Amino acid sequence: MALLAKVITVSDGVAEGTREDRAGAALEVYLREAGFTVVARIVTADGVEAVADTLRGACTGFAGLVVTTGGTGFGPRDLTPEGTRAVMEREAPGLAEAMRLVSPLGRLSRAVAGTVGTCLVVNTPGSSSGCIETLAAVVDVVPHALDLLQGGQPH
């Protein structure tokens, strides 16, 4: 099974071109090194509808991992979890919990994880180090989850 991934950067600044997308670039490198083929890097503004619309588009007709970076904190525009929940079909709370345990700052994360069709969606923080360390906490089980989502029955 091919391991496919898409990276979505959620940031008003990156969407407006006033900030560099360091976290998205870091995730792309990390995912490639972990054996994934990154088929898209997408940028969207913050906000529930922007995130939900972007996720709907990214997940339609796609089978793989979709990683968001940004918008998981307490800032007024940090609404990635709400946008993700608007399209998510089933939550995967164990993944989000494991991601929170990697750092003391994880206790401030509102990130969620779950499924949209044949996609596994995980929210990560907007920092280039935070997004990598949180994804690293769960990347080992992602291939199994994707296999199950695509109809595999490895049990």
What is the model's pLDDT at position 153?
76
- Residue pair 125/111 in contact by the 8 Å Cβ criterion: yes
107-142 confidence digits (pLDDT tens): 999 999 999 999 999 999 999 999 999 999 999 999
Q: What is the rounded average pLDDT for all residues in the chain?
A: 96
As a whole-number percent, the residues of the chain with pLDDT over 90 amount to 97
**Residue closest to 77 by CA, chosen among 50, 46, 51:** 46
Q: What DSSP state is assigned to residue 106?
A: G
- Residue pair 96/127 in contact by the 8 Å Cβ criterion: no
CA distance 51 to 46: 7
Across 6-30, average pLDDT: 97
pLDDT at 154 over 70: no
Helices 128-136 + 22-33 axis angle, to 10: 30
- The domain made up of 4-15+47-149 has a fold known as Molybdenum Cofactor Biosythetic Enzyme; Chain A (3.40.980)
83-97 confidence digits (pLDDT tens): 999 999 999 999 999
What is the model's pLDDT at position 155?
60
Across 45-67, average pLDDT: 98
Residue 152 — very low, low, confident or very high, per pLDDT cuts 50/70/90? confident
- Residue pair 3/64 in contact by the 8 Å Cβ criterion: yes
CA distance 82 to 65: 19
End-to-end CA distance of the chain: 16
Is the pTM higher than 0.95? The answer reads yes
What is the model's pLDDT at position 112?
98
| CB neighbour burial string for 46-70, b if at least 16 within 10 angstroms, e if fewer | bbbebbbebbeebbeebbbbbbbbb
pLDDT at 32 over 90: yes
CB count within 10 Å of CB 17 equals 8
What is the model's pLDDT at position 1?
78
What is the model's pLDDT at position 144?
96
pLDDT at 18 over 80: yes
